[in-house]
Amino acid sequence: MQTILELMAVIASGAYGVLLARQHKMDFVGVFSLALIVAFGGGTLRDLFLDRHPLFWIREDHYPVIIFFLALFTSFLPSIPESAESLLKYPDALGLGLFSIVGATAAIDAGTSLFIASLMGVITGTFGGVIGDVVCNRVPALFGSAPLFATCSFVGCWLLFFLQSISIPDGYAVTVSIALIVLLRLAAIRWKWRLPQTES
């Protein structure tokens, strides 16, 4: 199940990276590079922090191939209109949910505490997008005044731990936790939910 979730997360995050790159009118090399960064950035940091080798996308070497063909296919599509920016939220939210739970589960399997596992979930779910935003010269959603992002991941990871602690089968616990993260992220975008900002 972990492998299936990770594959889905790679595809969703790669799609987000492709759309983001096309929105910035990048060529194929730019699209492919940005999609790789977004899809693998957070998981790479997680693996480095947990001292997991080889890195997940090197171990599963078909992941970069999938991103390559995803980028190649979209290169033949017409230019994506500016209105398509609204579409970014869907692969963004889905990738966040999938990668957060995959990251938290990987950390638990590595023997970390629940709090560290929740942080690894947040890092896995968010930092690919953070690096992608930096490449595109945008203020990362994680650090700016954008709607809730890391908070959705953090809450979803703790829901997973709670459901597992009361002996809910892993399949249900994982599905519910991913759904919460995705729906919470989409709701935060829709209604502009944000954490309070500090006064300058």
Residue 77: both structure tokens together = 């599509």
* pLDDT on residue 113: 98
Mean pLDDT of the chain: 92
* pLDDT on residue 198: 64
Q: For residue range 106-153, what is the model confidence (pLDDT) as tens digits?
A: 999 999 999 999 999 999 999 999 999 999 998 887 887 678 999 999
H helices of the chain, where? 2-23, 28-49, 56-59, 62-75, 89-109, 114-135, 150-165, 170-191
CA distance 23 to 32: 13
Q: For residue range 61-107, what is the model confidence (pLDDT) as tens digits?
A: 999 999 999 999 887 777 666 666 677 889 999 999 999 999 999 99
Asked if 176 and 184 count as a contact pair (C-beta separation under 8 A), the reply is no
Count of all residues that appear for the chain in the document: 200
Domain chopping of the chain, boundaries: 2-191
Map tokens 């990048």 to a residue: 26
Asked if 2 and 98 count as a contact pair (C-beta separation under 8 A), the reply is no
Instruction: Classify residue 51 as exposed, middle or buried by CB count within 10 Å of its CB (0-12, 13-18, 19+).
Output: exposed
